[in-house]
Amino acid sequence: MNKFFTLAVLGLSSLTLSAAGTDQLTTALIKAQHPEFDYSGKSDSAPEFEDFTIVGESGAEYMFHQAVAGTNQYGDEFWAITWNHYPDPAGYMTSAKSGGYITKIELSVPEKGFSATGYAPEFEFYVSEEPMPARTDTGKGKSITLTHGGNGKYIWNADGHYKYLFLSTAQREVGSIAVSYSDNAPQLQVKTPEISCYAWDGYVPGSDVNISTETPDATLHITSYIDGEEYETATVEQSYTTVQLPGKPGEEVTYVVYATKDGFTDSGEAMETFDLVEPRLSTPSIDGYVGEVYPSYVLVYRCTDNSGNDIEGATIKYNTFYINWDNTELNWTGETMTATLPLTVTVPENVTPGGYFGIEGVASAEGYRDSNELYCSYQVISTNLDVPTVSIPSGSEVKAGERLQIIRPARATAIHYVVNDGEEVTVEEYSAYITLEEDCTIRTWATAEAPFADSEVLTVSYTIEKFGEWADVIYPSDFKEFDSDCNGNFHHTDLSFTREFTGATYNYQGRLWHNSMYDTDVCYITNKNDNFIYTSGTPKSYIKRFKIDCPIEYGACYILFGSEPFGLSSVTDQMTQWDDVPGRIRVGGDNNAEYGWGEWINLAALKDVKGLDVTRVQHFILYRYGQNAQISRVCVEYLNEEEVTGIEDVVSDAENGVVGVYNLSGIRVDGENLAPGIYIRKTNGKSEKFIVR
């Protein structure tokens, strides 16, 4: 039988407290002492009173900083502190003079309002032995949060020696606050300590035991027992301490604790018992993180103590395995083996990349319980590196100065590239960057240290966009007024300008904005009816191809082509809501877009768009659909004089029955000396294709 020293539990002192009184802080008391205030308002509309003081039955004085009082919409009398004053928006109520030692605080919200809504918020108080005249003084006190007990009433019994209070909860209606005082310091009992041990896998010798009491500045008296025999006694002059479990596996350790404090009666006695077990052997592990392996990779598993030293005599019973989810015929499980730790495992040469090599087992050692199960699997990778990837698809036409990013593949340590058979460049960063200034072919590959083999060579090529005389490149800055600047904000414009060579007039009715993330000006086309880029006047040629740039991936717009000039009234609801509008194309980052940002729309190749022949159109209007579109550039290339003449000749000759030969661009050629290719023969109003080999 356990033999414990049993401590006497001291109850509350029989000292009779001399009651100083209870103050009922109600609207009626405020009205009685301040009849000059206006109490006619309802709840939030009640007139506010600035600083005023009321005196309670105990003789205590209470100062209200920013408060209202009156009758709410349910007919309850209430008062509340307010919060709407800058720079100190929150009001408060505080003790200006104490009525003695606070023994209890009771609060209730207005009764009819609570019955109607069932709503009762939390209230926050501070209590202290010293005055707290301003919000900055609440650090001297103890924070008390009161939660109602389901009936709109709140009760707090003092657990220390406090004389002053501070109510900080603003904008909440109060029915009554009752503050009870005593002339004598109340005899309070120290809170009974709590004993806890958070050992997650059994109580082992040395586990931390936490002992604490909620009473500040108390003294803990701790007695420990092993198998019922007193082991140790200790006194700790603070409210919290941590001790370690003594004894050996198989023994029973008991703690008996009580707490004391001057001016308080002793706490009750707390007792907890812990059955000691052997420590759990740590699960074998490897140093660092390993997520991938390859044939011949070496794994070393160890069992260590808390200092990181190998546990002597530890062994492991284990087996290795291989899993391939795509080809289960390759799966295998190795023979079960027992080995001394540390254990070295070499990944077999015959494992296939794409599967998983792993190990499972349990470690043992004298004086320990078996370890938790070790189960580790690692993806098997190839030692042949992947090729680098590039940010711009090969074969793209790019703007001069555009930057190409070459991204290093996994496990590579360097990127190598050669531009137009020039010098080899090696970059050991995650990415390499090349500014594209001319047509070029780039060869790139990746390398790493052994055992990884160099990747294959990736070859990509790019052409720099080139614009002839018959191309207009339109920027947002072309629409800006001479003295205007975006400065990061929206600027509205309805300007237009004419390009002399092509004869096209470009108009914009909408907003300009500087996108600071990409440091570029944009035409910010919204869904308003007057946000358009459109052409007017008489261009000298037909549109050959068209491209719209946007600095961001999302957003989208419509481009509508036509033979006649557009205007602000040209776009109808049908043009934004229906898909069968002749000549209309979706462009942008939307899933429904037919062309992406920066992609050429070749009208000569398209020929027909929803029933409109777009090979002989001169005008367009660009307007928004989907998300707002940020247009940074519009490129319009027109047919040059030769291309226009060729088309007109084909039409004229066909109508007059004249025999003629033309290339696929519509340009008439000498039919006697044709290079190999495909041509069109026109005669008597008919046309036919033929091939020259």
- Kindly state whether residues 205 and 84 are assigned to the same domain: no
Residue 369 lies in a domain: yes
- Kindly state whether residues 373 and 505 are assigned to the same domain: no
Residue 210 lies in a domain: yes
Residue 278 lies in a domain: no
Residue 38 lies in a domain: yes
Q: Which of 440, 464, 488 lies at the terminal end of a domain, its last residue?
A: 464
More confident residue, 548 or 152: 548
Residue 7 lies in a domain: no
Q: Which of 123, 153, 184 lies at the terminal end of a domain, its last residue?
A: 184
Q: Which of 158, 184, 210 lies at the terminal end of a domain, its last residue?
A: 184
In this structure, what CATH number is given to the domain that contains residue 440?
2.60.40.10
Q: What is the DSSP letter of 174?
A: B
Residue-level pLDDT at 8? 29
- Kindly state whether residues 533 and 627 are assigned to the same domain: yes
Residue-level pLDDT at 394? 93
| 125 has pLDDT over 70 | yes
Residue 282 lies in a domain: no
Residue-level pLDDT at 17? 42
Residue-level pLDDT at 519? 86
- Kindly state whether residues 78 and 40 are assigned to the same domain: yes
Q: Which of 525, 692, 539, 537 is nearest to 622 (CA)?
A: 525
- Average pLDDT on 181-206 reads 91
Residue-level pLDDT at 50? 86
Q: How far is CA 70 from CA 82, 117, 410, in A?
A: 13, 19, 72
Residue 630 lies in a domain: yes
Q: How far is CA 312 from CA 71, 309, 363, 371, 571, in A?
A: 80, 9, 12, 14, 84
Phi, psi at residue 86, to the nearest 5°? -100, 140
Residue 3 lies in a domain: no
Give 125's strand partners.
144, 167
- Kindly state whether residues 606 and 672 are assigned to the same domain: no
- Kindly state whether residues 318 and 375 are assigned to the same domain: yes
Q: Are 365 and 281 in contact (CB under 8 A)?
A: yes
**C-alpha–C-alpha distance, residues 585 and 581, integer Å:** 9
- Kindly state whether residues 30 and 129 are assigned to the same domain: yes
Say how many C-beta atoms besides its own lie within 10 A of residue 634's C-beta.
22
In this structure, what CATH number is given to the domain that contains residue 330?
2.60.40
- Kindly state whether residues 176 and 116 are assigned to the same domain: yes
- Kindly state whether residues 400 and 430 are assigned to the same domain: yes
Peptide bond into 47 cis (omega under 30): no
Q: Which structural domain, as residue segments, surrounds residue 376? A: 292-380
Domain count, the chain: 6
- Kindly state whether residues 166 and 204 are assigned to the same domain: no
Residue-level pLDDT at 13? 35
- The residue whose two tokens read 């007990």 is 149
Q: Given the DSSP bridges, would you call strands 188-189 and 264-265 parallel, antiparallel or unpaired? A: parallel
- What would the two tokens of residue 39 be? 């109490």
pLDDT in tens, 479-536: 876 445 555 567 777 788 899 899 999 999 888 888 888 888 898 887 766 678 889 8
pLDDT in tens, 676-690: 666 677 665 556 666
**C-alpha–C-alpha distance, residues 307 and 565, integer Å:** 83
**C-alpha–C-alpha distance, residues 3 and 241, integer Å:** 25
**C-alpha–C-alpha distance, residues 682 and 446, integer Å:** 56
- Kindly state whether residues 546 and 619 are assigned to the same domain: yes
Model pTM score: 0.54
- Average pLDDT on 185-191 reads 85
Radius of gyration, alpha carbons of the chain: 43
pLDDT in tens, 403-440: 999 999 999 999 999 999 999 999 999 999 999 999 99
**C-alpha–C-alpha distance, residues 631 and 515, integer Å:** 11
pLDDT tier for residue 80 given thresholds of 50, 70 and 90: very high
- Kindly state whether residues 35 and 135 are assigned to the same domain: yes
pLDDT in tens, 23-62: 999 999 999 999 999 998 776 667 888 899 999 999 999 9
